[in-house]
Structure 1
Amino acid sequence: MRALLRSATLSLLVGATPAFAQRVDWANTSGDPGAMRYAPLADIDRNNVGRLKLAWRWNTGERSVRASANQKAARPGLFQASPIVLGDTMYVSTPYAAVAALDARTGRELWKFDPEMWRTGQPSNGTGFVHRGVATWASSTQRRIFINARWKLIALDAATGKPIPSFGVNGEVDLTKELRRAVNQLQYTNTSPPVVYGDLVIVGNGVGDRIRYRNDPPGDVQAFDVNTGKRVWSFHTVPDSGEVGWDTWEDGSYKYMGHTNVWAPMSLDAARGLLFLPVSTPTNDWYGGDRKGDNLFAESVVALNAKTGARVWHYQIVHHGLWDYDLPAPPVLATITWNGRPRDVVAVPSKTAWIYVFDRETGAPIWPIVERPVPKSDVPGERAALTQPMPTNPAPFTRQTVSENDLIDFTPELRRRALEVFSKYRSGPIFTPPSLEGTIVMPGSIGGAGWGSTSYDPESHTLYVKGTDNPVVYRVQKGVPNDTIGFEYTVDLVRSGLGVTADPDSGKADHAPPEQLPLIKPPYGTMTAINLDTGKRRWQVTLGDTPAIRNHPLLENVKLPPLGVAGAVGGTVTKGGLIFATGGGSVLYALDTRDGSVKWQFDLPAGRGYANPISYRAANGVQYIVIATGGGDNAELIAFSLDGRH
């Protein structure tokens, strides 16, 4: 490991500044611990946003690298991090889980720490090397930066970038060391930042969907002392014998099932000491014959006592999951007006395209959530849940099924071929299970909502959610011994994509309609504004575009409607009445919060902006908009300000 010091000291606290230039930090990757992604800044507003220009750029400098001659080259994935800004210093993680400190006014690099996780080879999570941010803790004498790099939790001195020797072993804690069973470290990873509460640093983990075997890594959430690295508590997302929920894993399957992890960001209500977990799917996402039962706490929102790790309440949004409908995003902690009074709630975005809204303290649904019958499975050994919980409000923000009316009709020939593809597979309402011949599932594995889909305006009580309309095909097949040890069936991932609108990291698209055009009509990406006081939609617009479709040779001279772009990221909302978002595409937009109209846009030079933007005001009085862009060998942060000031 190495830390390169570019500046002898860092100023972490800025003194008093004139009122017109009061510094406003972005202290959490989601803006605040409650994941509102809201900047209380109006220097940039609807009237002057057209003056936004590039202020500075910073390149990660990362490249594909081979640690040894017999190792497959490691390659940095998409740059997906949202930085944090404290004073005039920005801290950001790179795809390789390095940490850099930058001057937030100019982008000048101050120091960089590289844990050299690329030496471990390419991860097996399907997305490769990605990381989405860091967390911070401060005492009266020192500030620390925490990053969870694959199986390591690392504490750095914020002033120098050097590991804290007294934390764990030389600044590191092995996150697999105290798990309930031994695991292969190479199958354990992290993409979302830790959560800091008091003197605890709390982490989830990620286990790739492609890892499907008995006794794979469990998804336990762990808390460690920020000073020593000693583990303080652990929460079992797959309960042990006698714990609440263990009997929802029939035939003793709790003993060998894993995953059920919290790979998405967690949210924290520090005043109440409540930690909110968005829990993902169990082992072998698409076949549950080896884990009969509802499988708590998979695909659940779980509220924990942040100090002790004790469960306070939970709600399972998918019973016995078969669709990879993990909770992909941090629960949004909002205050709404209910019966004329303020009420603190948690709004949970989901891949199902529903927003589930609960009382923050009790877990009681704000609006009724009804258990409704769903189709049965005929896959041998499978026993799908008979009912699934379906919210009555708010309404779904994307389509939840595919019918003939949804198929592309750009030309008569494309329509004919789309019908031909559609007829090969099963289709039906949401929660139609995977099948041996293949089932068209909508929403697909990237949503609905994705890991960065939501932002919230606490003044208007409006939730903004980026939605993706992208069906997938789940075809169950006999297990392959080298792939699924001990499981009779699994999914045919080779056939899980339907077109160019699929996330490029989510699988192949080899049986789409001709030349990789999508099966369904647009829009493929939307932005929806929801009034959380009532649950009613304020507006919905198509967000972004998909050049691979618009410029397709089969569509030459065909007039196309707005297409939208598929992707897991949404926006950041500001007091200036703007939402900054790419939707996962290569254009950064500023949308008017009143109606979703585009007030400004910018073509990103490094390609896709697959991250949530941030906004802050530095001590120089300048409000900045910053977004991570690109990936691979060309990943960079891009900062904007009015007239390019810095």
Structure 2
Amino acid sequence: MRRALLALLAPAALSAQTDWPVYGGDPGAMKYSALADLNPGNVGRLTKLWEWSTGEAPMAQWKTRPGLFQATPLMIGDTLFLPTSYNQVAALNAATGREYWRFDPRAYEAGQAPNGTGFVHRGVASWSDGKTRRIFLNSRWRLIALDAATGRPIPSFGAGGEVDLAGDLVWQVNRRRYTNTSPPVVWGNLVIVGNGVADKFAYKNDPPGDIQAFDARTGKRIWKWSPIPQGGDGSETWENESWRFTGHTNVWAPFSVDVARGLVYLPVSTPSNDWYGGARKGDNLFAESLVCLDARTGEKLWHFQTVHHGLWDYDLPTAPVLGRVTQPGGPVDFVAMPTKMGMLFVFDRVTGTPLWPVEERPVPASDVLGERAAPTQPFPTKPAPYARQGFSATDVVDFTPALKELATRTVTSYRTGPLFTPPSLQGTVASPGLIGGSGWGGGAYDPETGIIYLKATNQPALLKLVTPPPSDSLDAAYALDFTASLDLNAKLLSSPDDPQRAAASLPISKPPYGTLTAIDLATGDHRWQVPLGDSPEIRNHPLLKGVALPPLGVAGAPGAIVTKGGLLFATGGGSALIALDKATGKVLWQAPLGAIGYANPMTYRTRAGQQVVVIATGGGAAPAKLQAFSLPR
């Protein structure tokens, strides 16, 4: 078995044209495949090729439950490598789904992960010296190096095959509150990694977002960079030296790498407290910024802050997309940053110069005692927004007059307004909500046409602040009322004694709840936008029986992939895998998955010449499966 697998992994056999060697398809996260075996003429004949189950379930002994299955596998040689919903790593035969090996880091022994996603993990990374190959998993606070042929830890890497990611940060942290959901990136002989942390944590010196680079052979740390400046450049944007104790400002989303230039691009998240910044007045660099580092040294080369003094949990949620496009002045190597706000910022990726002007526009002030919201926020003049921004009474659901009246009555009790209306004690209806706009699924870029494809969610959130009781995880003047906020995060509320309480399972806003947008990066213009997916729980709701509904789309973070064959594949966060014509957005084929496909798909060609499309489904309370589709032989 080992000899056969080593042969499959031989570097000479690898081809970027047939494989999917990096989480985003390539280091620049284009999510593009040069395969054209599947095309608009034959995609309607796709059928299930195989499926593989993780077999994971809740563990009473450890009081844990698996996360949603959101993995996008790597395909190298003829082997798939992927993490499971308990942070295990599996190697599968790409043609049959047969399991070669599985490694269990026993992450569950530390108890349930306290972040909102639990044990969710979306990918692994691969490194080779030309002779052997390693697979890297960042599980909670550990970076683990595995032999790709056997799945066994590499003893010479760190201590027994792993390094402690939380052992030498800017301050000491509780390891159980330090986690990871996105894969590391590899540049040369370096493995570069960020981290995640629960948004609900808000106390002094909670886990920070140090970016760390390790030697892929030995595990020795080569450099570290802090998104919260520890004195010096940017620290003046943290008043009263709040940089000394403010945590988060981490990079939980995937990175991107310009391999030739040795540049790594970081989508940085929100500081703690995510919704109240009275203890961290100022713009708070380099939070919610796109940051370009020298991959060799960790030196910051340039940055652009997309949100000043973040109060909305508008983390940069996904990998920046690196590509080349021809504009009137000639070809440009760009970096495009999708955002939760539904705005796409596009820059020259070497200099950080925006390809289209960005304007600072006035935004509403905060009415919360002690808060000082930024007076302006940056808005790109192109492309136009691709998600619904701001919320008013005209945005409420209007499927029936009764529902419209109920939704209008609900909304009038809260603060509403344009994008960047701050959280409030009254409760602010914010749109986009906590998952965007864009989510971690990000964009897909076609280098032949210059078109980028962006999934968006149109789902408001209620940002209602309360005075919390102090605890070891919450020490703040105000915190988000998660119960109220999650209820309105796409759910229509009524008073407790309202006989129409059944309407509480319907959205408060109009559809579409999920869209896919094609944007031409040569001009910055939208080519098309279509609803993506469907929402059967809405369409089949008892209160809507007999009501003719428009296309609904589906809310969700997963994005699309694009192929040379003229296709897009996506679920959008729904329970069907969908193939669309990339020129028009027309649905050409879809297959029910039997569970939510809450992952990005990927595609590859087997050694037998079959193009295969793979999607992870289920997890959590549903069986987690990897499902593969191809044309019948």
Superposition TM-score, scaled by structure 1 size? 0.94
| Pair 1:211 & 2:214 matched | no
Within a 5 Å distance, the mapping from 1:567-646 to structure 2 comes to 567-605=556-594, 607-632=595-620, 633-643=622-632, 645=633
Provide the residue aligned with 1:25 in structure 2: 19
Output the amino acid matched with 1:238.
I
Residue 466 of structure 1, aligned match among 433, 455, 460 = 455
Provide the residue aligned with 1:260 in structure 2: 249
Aligned-partner SS, 1:433: coil
| Pair 1:45 & 2:52 matched | no
Provide the residue aligned with 1:293 in structure 2: 282
Within a 5 Å distance, the mapping from 1:354-503 to structure 2 comes to 354-482=343-471, 485-498=474-487, 501=490
Provide the residue aligned with 2:266 in structure 1: 277
Provide the residue aligned with 2:494 in structure 1: none
Structure 1: runs of 5+ lacking an equivalent: 503-510
State the alpha-carbon separation in 2 of the partners of residues 623 and 484 from structure 1: 48
Output the amino acid matched with 1:152.
R
Aligned-partner SS, 2:7: coil
| Pair 1:240 & 2:230 matched | yes
Deviation sequence 1:290-341 (CA, Å, 0-9, x none): 0000001100000000010000000000000000000001000011112251
Output the amino acid matched with 1:551.
N
State the alpha-carbon separation in 2 of the partners of residues 15 and 238 from structure 1: 39
Quote the RMSD (CA, aligned, Å): 1.7
Deviation sequence 1:62-117 (CA, Å, 0-9, x none): 1111335xxxx211111101000111111011111110001111100000000010
Provide the residue aligned with 1:506 in structure 2: none
Aligned-pair CA distance for 1:387: 0.6
Output the amino acid matched with 1:55.
L
| Pair 1:155 & 2:138 matched | no
Deviation sequence 1:120-174 (CA, Å, 0-9, x none): 1111111111000100000132100000000000000000000000000000100
Distance 1:425 1:51, change over 3 A: same
Distance 1:107 1:441, change over 3 A: same
Within a 5 Å distance, the mapping from 1:91-170 to structure 2 comes to 91-170=81-160
Provide the residue aligned with 1:67 in structure 2: 61
Provide the residue aligned with 2:175 in structure 1: 185
Output the amino acid matched with 1:594.
A
Distance 1:135 1:332, change over 3 A: same
Provide the residue aligned with 1:565 in structure 2: 554
State the alpha-carbon separation in 2 of the partners of residues 488 and 409 from structure 1: 38
Q: Is the 8 A contact 1:512 1:518 kept in 2?
A: no
Aligned-partner SS, 1:344: strand
Q: Is the 8 A contact 1:351 1:443 kept in 2?
A: yes
Distance 1:500 1:204, change over 3 A: closer
Q: Structure 1 stretch 73-82 or stretch 582-591: which is displaced more?
A: 73-82
Q: Is the 8 A contact 2:269 2:288 kept in 1?
A: yes
Residue 87 of structure 1, aligned match among 77, 97, 106 = 77
Aligned-partner SS, 2:280: coil
Aligned-pair CA distance for 1:472: 0.5
Aligned-partner SS, 1:496: helix
Distance 1:624 1:46, change over 3 A: same
State the alpha-carbon separation in 2 of the partners of residues 123 and 149 from structure 1: 11
Q: Structure 1 stretch 30-39 or stretch 118-127: which is displaced more?
A: 118-127
Distance 1:610 1:317, change over 3 A: same
Aligned-pair CA distance for 1:499: 5.2
Aligned-partner SS, 2:373: coil
Aligned-pair CA distance for 1:10: 3.5
State the alpha-carbon separation in 1 of the partners of residues 10 and 219 from structure 2: 30
Q: Is the 8 A contact 1:500 1:517 kept in 2?
A: no
Distance 1:373 1:554, change over 3 A: same
Provide the residue aligned with 2:49 in structure 1: 55
Aligned-pair CA distance for 1:497: 2.8
Q: Structure 1 stretch 481-490 or stretch 356-365: which is displaced more?
A: 481-490
State the alpha-carbon separation in 2 of the partners of residues 311 and 23 from structure 1: 33
Structure 2: runs of 5+ lacking an equivalent: 492-499
Residue 68 of structure 2, aligned match among 72, 78, 83 = 78
Q: Is the 8 A contact 1:11 1:88 kept in 2?
A: no
Deviation sequence 1:578-622 (CA, Å, 0-9, x none): 0000000001100001110000000002x0001111011121111
Output the amino acid matched with 2:48.
L
Provide the residue aligned with 2:7 in structure 1: 11
Aligned-partner SS, 1:497: helix
Aligned-partner SS, 2:486: coil
Aligned-pair CA distance for 1:487: 1.6
Deviation sequence 1:507-550 (CA, Å, 0-9, x none): xxxx9982221111100000000000011000000011111111
Aligned-partner SS, 2:176: helix
Aligned-partner SS, 2:405: helix
Q: Is the 8 A contact 1:524 1:566 kept in 2?
A: yes
Aligned-pair CA distance for 1:22: 10
Residue 332 of structure 2, aligned match among 327, 335, 343 = 343
Distance 1:366 1:340, change over 3 A: closer
Q: Is the 8 A contact 1:34 1:268 kept in 2?
A: yes
% of aligned pairs identical?
58
**How many residues are treated as equivalent by the alignment?**
623
Output the amino acid matched with 2:599.
A
Q: Is the 8 A contact 1:14 1:88 kept in 2?
A: no
Provide the residue aligned with 1:171 in structure 2: 161
State the alpha-carbon separation in 2 of the partners of residues 498 and 512 from structure 1: 13
Residue 239 of structure 2, aligned match among 242, 250, 258 = 250
State the alpha-carbon separation in 2 of the partners of residues 310 and 192 from structure 1: 22
Aligned-pair CA distance for 1:6: 8.4
Deviation sequence 1:414-462 (CA, Å, 0-9, x none): 1110011010100000001011100000000100000013101000000
Output the amino acid matched with 1:227.
R
Deviation sequence 1:204-253 (CA, Å, 0-9, x none): 000110111111011010000111111100011111022x1111111011
State the alpha-carbon separation in 2 of the partners of residues 227 and 485 from structure 1: 39
